[in-house]
Structure 1
Amino acid sequence: MHQDSDIRAGLRAGLPLVLPTLAIGISFGVLAEPVMGSVAPVVMSITVFSGAAQFAALTVLTAGGGAFAAIAAGMLLNARWLPMGLAIGPFLKGGPVQRSIESIAIVDSSFALASRGDGTFDRLKLIGSTLPQGAAWVGGTVIGVLGGSFLGDPQALGLDAMFPAFFAYLLFEELKDRTRVVAAVGGALIALALLPFTPPGVPVLVAAFAALIGLKRTPAAAR
């Protein structure tokens, strides 16, 4: 039977990710303000809270696409939460409302941090590790929106490198487990195979189902 850690353990686990999350949030704010104005990017970061989806929507808007196309692009990338939600859902607590609220804490990094490596997840570590990242993401967006003219081009500051570096760190941590290596390689192969034939976003979505490798149902006592 697994016992959840406490919120403090999650906070400690999430703190090393605050700086890159802040930097990526600043980058989004700088790039979004000329396209979306000062309020919309901040509201988007609060309600959507997904860098990949927000940058995808921003890319569509920057290219001249409409709001519907931007929302569709964001939703397509956020559909990767489906397999992740299936994996972590049994370890959330309470009724439908509480479980829905707790599921907001499912982000890429916290999903990895909350994994115990045996198909089970630490609920409180998930929530705790997301709290500082959420604050950094929204705070970074505000800084980027308000200070965009002063900060200049995110690429010139190297902020664009934070996104791949952020996920490279998470991948390195996950490769300590053989099952996760298989899932990572499987996801990469799926994405590469679909890349030439499918619209942008679809390879990432389908590849996310590789996360289900090694998923196993656990008895109620372990939840």
Structure 2
Amino acid sequence: MDKGTTDMSSEVVVEPKGRSKPAEFFIRLVKEKPLGTVGAVITLLLLLTGIFADFLAPDGMNQIHVGDFLVPPSAKYWLGTDNLGRDMLSRVIFGARVSMIVGLAAATIATLLTAFIGILSGYFGGKFDLIVQRFVDAVMCIPGLILLMVLIAMLGPGLWQVIVVSGVRWGITGSRIIRGAVIGIKENVYVQAAEAIGCSTPRILTRHILPNVMAPLIVRFSI
């Protein structure tokens, strides 16, 4: 082999093997936002508990153990039993599923109603906005728990009644946040330009207004 040439086949390039991208992301998240990570882990555990309640719970939600009434915590019943002989640990695990269903469904209804009322009220303004806001004021003046109890008494007991009533109440009271954001957004140049070229109102609301209020809507959904 000539002196001026180099045998490339004899050179081995070894690239350092680092962590995978998901691992790097998780480690960076833990370092930058430790409290947020703890909250995310707890939320994930609750979601998994609710989803896999049938496999995690030692007994059925309403299974009765005859003779084991008000048993204190033990190796057999980790959280004891109630006055009917039902395992409290199983009821807590299944309760996570019910809470998850109620929370997600009510938050979805509330977010959709918040967006609908807030966007229309803020964009159209005038007498329509005045009437809507007085109705919102009336709802906000009534304590939430009392309003829920009255409406559920009228509609009857049930899981979906609780979901609908809770979602409607939270949706109405939260619409004022979106209304305030829309009042500022509709004064922007791009909205005025869309109106000037003859864009329809539904197009303006869905194309120019709604995307710009997604941030407060997401925050409202998480609350």
- TM-score band w.r.t. shorter chain: under 0.3
Q: TM-score, normalised by structure 2?
A: 0.28
Task: Calculate the TM-score normalised by the size of structure 1.
Answer: 0.28
Q: Which has the larger radius of gyration?
A: 2
Higher relative contact order (CA 8 A, sep 6+): 1
